[in-house]
């Protein structure tokens, strides 16, 4: 007997899930590339004695991603929540870099 909550074989559902899996993999790889760059930014900021956070840049990025989300048919709140998470992680990495690198004098 087949369980409707867990179909034994549903090709259409499997196709959807395969697409989601591919998109998730792409997101992970894109995030890895983004964090490689932001780590370099953190090292640069620490060496230059710059603060880890840039509130003006963050606000501009939130506005930009909200606009892009709207254009793409995505709820802008989702893009803002995602970006907030990314920014928080970037700042955490920048703070770590500041602890590891002495500012240039």
Residue 4 lies in a domain: no
pLDDT higher than 50, residue 65? yes
Q: Is residue 3 part of a domain?
A: no
Residue in the structure block whose two tokens are 């892009």: 68
Instruction: Establish if 70 belongs to a structural domain.
Output: yes
Q: What is the CATH number of the domain that holds 15?
A: 1.20.59.10
Q: Is residue 2 one of the residues assigned to a domain?
A: no
Helix and strand numbers (H, E) in the chain are 3, 0
In a domain, 72, yes or no: yes
12-60, pLDDT tens digit by residue? 999 999 999 999 999 999 999 999 999 999 999 999 999 999 999 999 9
Number of domains in the chain: 1
Band of the pLDDT at 11, cuts 50, 70, 90? very high
What residue has token string 């963050």? 58
**Assigned domain for 75 exists:** yes
- Going by the DSSP 8-state scheme, the letter that residue 3 receives in this structure is B
In this structure, is residue 50 part of a structural domain? yes
- Enumerate the H helices of 49-75 as residue ranges: 55-72
Mapped onto helix, strand or coil, the DSSP state of residue 89 is helix
Structural domain including 46 reads 11-100
The single residue listed with the structure tokens 């240039």 is: 104
Which one has a higher pLDDT value, 36 or 104? 36
Tell me what the mean pLDDT of segment 73-88 comes to: 96
Contact by Cβ (8 Å): 100, 42: no
Torsion, Cα 68 37 89 29, to 10 degrees, reads: 70
Q: Are 69 and 79 in contact (CB under 8 A)?
A: yes
């Amino acid at each position: 007997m087949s369980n409707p909550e867990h179909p034994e074989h549903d090709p259409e559902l499997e196709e959807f899930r395969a697409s989601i899996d591919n998109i998730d993999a792409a997101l992970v790889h894109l995030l890895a590339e983004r964090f490689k760059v932001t780590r370099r930014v953190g090292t640069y900021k620490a060496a230059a004695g710059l603060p880890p956070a840039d509130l003006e840049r963050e606000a501009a990025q939130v506005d930009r991603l909200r606009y892009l989300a709207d254009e793409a048919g995505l709820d802008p709140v989702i893009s803002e929540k995602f970006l907030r998470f990314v920014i928080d992680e970037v700042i955490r990495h920048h703070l770590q870099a500041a602890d590891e690198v002495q500012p240039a004098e």
